Amino acid sequence: MNTTVIHQVLAETQAGKLVFPEVVRRLSEVGVESYLCDLATGAETFYMSDGTTHAEKTTLPLSPIAEQFSASGIVAAIRGAQSDTIRYPEFMKRSAAAGIIAYWAFLTGKKVIYFGRKGESHVEEFRRPTN
């Protein structure tokens, strides 16, 4: 497990320097299969292909998580990130405002599942690159 690369990717992401496809590429290269981000605690857990895990805490300030889940709110935040109109720090604020308490990015499964406070969810498949 290369925790140095994981830490670097997390730091650069939180600084707004990386876009999601680059995060996926770099984490996949060091054997990360998936990662779980808890917006309530700031904990991020990385699940490796060899069955081990690695946890880190976010350096971003935690935003209040809205009580009501907003599917349209999380979709708008996702589209903003995909179009590179917003970067990760703003994405996290908008996710919390949409009632997202956690998300699980499945790199090998090519999808992210976003969870609301009452068990609601939104599944977002990875977009295919356009040529």
How confident is the model over 81-129, as pLDDT tens digits?
999 999 999 999 999 999 999 999 999 999 999 999 999 999 999 987 6
- 45 alpha carbon, distance to own chain's centre: 11
Domain extent listing, the chain: 3-125
C-beta of residue 24 within 8 angstroms of C-beta of residue 12? no
- Number of other residues whose CB lies within 10 A of the CB of residue 21: 12
Write out the CATH class of domain 3-125: alpha beta
d(CA 85, CA 97): 17
The 10s digit of each residue's pLDDT in 27-67 is 999 999 999 999 999 999 999 999 999 999 999 999 999 99
Q: What six digits make up the tokens of 33?
A: 């299969």
